[in-house]
Amino acid sequence: MSKKIVVFGGAGFLGSHVADALSERGYDVTIYDLKESPYLREDQRMVTGNVLDEKKVNAVLAGAEYVYNFSGIADIEECSDNPLKSVKHNILGHAIILDGCMQNRVKRVVYASSVYVYGRHGSFYRITKQACEQLLEEYHEKYALEHTILRYGSLYGPRSQMWNGVYRYIYQALKEQRIDYAGAGEEKREYIHVFDAARLSADMLGDEFKNKCIVITGNYILSSKELLTMIKEMLNDTVKIKYTKEKSSQHYNITPHSFVPKLGIKITPNPSIDMGEGILRQIEQIYKEVKDEPRVSNGLQGSREVLGEDADPIAQYK
């Protein structure tokens, strides 16, 4: 009999990919989210509900051996603008899940944190992640509930939304043939394709990751200017990039590190999806979403020649 895993927030960007990776490894996957997942597989079960619903959360955890928690507000700006909502959904919701795991004798909780937990940036988003990590520590100390904390770097790839930076840049480039960037473009990020992140996340059930903090980032460190130039060149230099001096105070420039609540073990994918191929494929995906817009028509000329009509350079890593 396959082991039951509940993936909270499994209808979202990263959560849905991790749910797929777990299903492909033979686990019995149940997705719990506010809305029906558009990516639900035939071998997955869907439960719609709010993480603040204690009774429903407790019921879905019955018989579960492992839990992944991707629930809550993932948009830094939204968290910054809605502190009370962030505390409710990110912290209280997480506590309700942990209490349900304790009552149902779940073996381990894998929690999606962020590299922002290290430092001063990230506003209420960072604060909620810090609080949730501390809750995991306390539930382990008091109730012996095992955990694995995953601190993700900058994700990109299919199923992302407008709050995702790479998606937003490509979307604006295709819709308006320009990209407005708030900052000088020197900010650096360690980008990782969501397929790679999902594969590594599914690996975390091994005993060697029990009660550990794991930093999951990619092999590609790019400045924002380098990333935007890459997108511009892939669109045959038809995009104008505008840098402004105004920069969000919620984001870091080079590193999120300023203090370390708990040391994290850094893991990068090997092999990994080439970032150029990953970005090009995401351009094609977003192009399909906006292809009816007349101003986009010149944006992807030549991309099929680059990729090939039926090419799938990243399928081997799915």
State how far the alpha carbon of 193 is from the alpha carbons of 137, 200, 272, 317, in Å: 29, 11, 8, 10
Residue 3: DSSP 8-state: P
- Asked if the 4-159+192-219+259-267 domain carries CATH number 1.25.40.10, the reply is no
Closest CA to 116 of 257, 19, 219: 257
Lowest mean pLDDT among 53-57, 73-77, 99-103, 314-318: 314-318
The mean per-residue pLDDT over the stretch 50-67 comes to: 98
Q: What is the pLDDT of residues 63-110, one digit of tens each?
A: 999 999 999 987 888 888 989 999 999 999 999 999 999 999 999 999
Res. 243 pLDDT band, cuts 50 70 90: very high
State how far the alpha carbon of 140 is from the alpha carbons of 20, 60, 72, 90, 98, in Å: 28, 21, 21, 19, 10
Token readout for 142 is 């008091």
